[in-house]
Structure 1
Amino acid sequence: MGERPAAVGDLRLATIVVNALDMERAATFWAETLGYDAEREVGPQHQYTKLEDPAGRGPDVLIQQTEKIPQDAAPVHIDLYTSDRDQHVERLLKLGATRADDWDYPERHEFIVLRDPEGNEFCVIQAD
């Protein structure tokens, strides 16, 4: 891999924020999904739960307490890559994810769209 452009400097992806009505349920789901540690509640009113990769390789995930989850598709979502998509889809369904059955898939696709227990969409993608 090459060098990053100088204009980028030290800018990096550090945190992914997931909205939740039930912060504990969402934190448990994402911690188990990713194998992350639920570190602590943070913020002035403890409105966030911070999840960290114990290996230090992935970005942190911040579960953010919210009063409403948008029903329209979010303009940003999480993609999870794996060499065994179907096994992980089944595991995530057991953890509380649901299939986004209303998704309009193209004829050929490597991804499955799921929703976390709070309704946030994410994809599990077959990546060989």
Structure 2
Amino acid sequence: MNDALHWKLVIDTHDARTMADFWAAALKYEVEDATALIDHLLSTGDLPEAAVAEHEGRRAFRGYAAVRHPEDPYDSFTGIGKGRRLLFQDVPEPKTVKNRLHIDIHANAGGRDELVSRLESLGATRVREVDKGPAGHWWLMQDPEGNEFCVA
């Protein structure tokens, strides 16, 4: 029996759908599809139409979006992952300081430059290269909303 915990990291955003699309592409995760759940909640009157948005031809919760690891289990009705997830939620205030928590993405051996270039093509920005000698060598980057992450 697998006793591994499922978890989600919640990230405050200005545009949850755009950030979910970026991070799904960056990590090769899948954007969760909650269409069936939303349709059900709308039909029962448990969700107002104002709480729903359209994104790439699908219904989505306004101000929220999540991505999940493609190999982890998920609920087929709700679309919600039962493993490694990132949940993006829109908040009114802007990001003002350095992240206290960030994601590190590890490239395959010799593939860091290619990965950095791929992430830039998705909308990430290089901030600075860090070389700590034997302790490591990585790029500090920012996602499209300015959240820091590292690529080693």
TM-score (norm: length of structure 1) = 0.74
Match of 1:55 among 54, 67, 71: 71
Query: Which is helix-richer, 1 or 2?
Result: 2
- 2:107 equivalent to 1:82: yes
Which residue number corresponds to residue 93 of structure 2?
68
Deviation at 1:12, TM superposition (A): 3.5
- Which amino acid in structure 1 is aligned with residue 20 of structure 2? A
- 2:115 equivalent to 1:91: no
Mind listing any 5+ residue stretches in structure 2 that lack a counterpart? 38-46, 52-60, 74-82
- 2:138 equivalent to 1:111: yes
TM-score (norm: length of structure 2) = 0.64
Mind listing any 5+ residue stretches in structure 1 that lack a counterpart? 1-9
Matched-pair identity in %:
33
2:131, 2:138 within 8 Å by CA — same for their partners in 1? no
User: Residues 56 and 13 (structure 1 numbering): CA distance in 2 closer, same or farther, change over 3 Å?
Assistant: closer
Deviation at 1:62, TM superposition (A): 0.7
Deviation at 1:112, TM superposition (A): 0.7
Match of 1:17 among 10, 31, 55: 10
Match of 2:22 among 26, 29, 51: 29
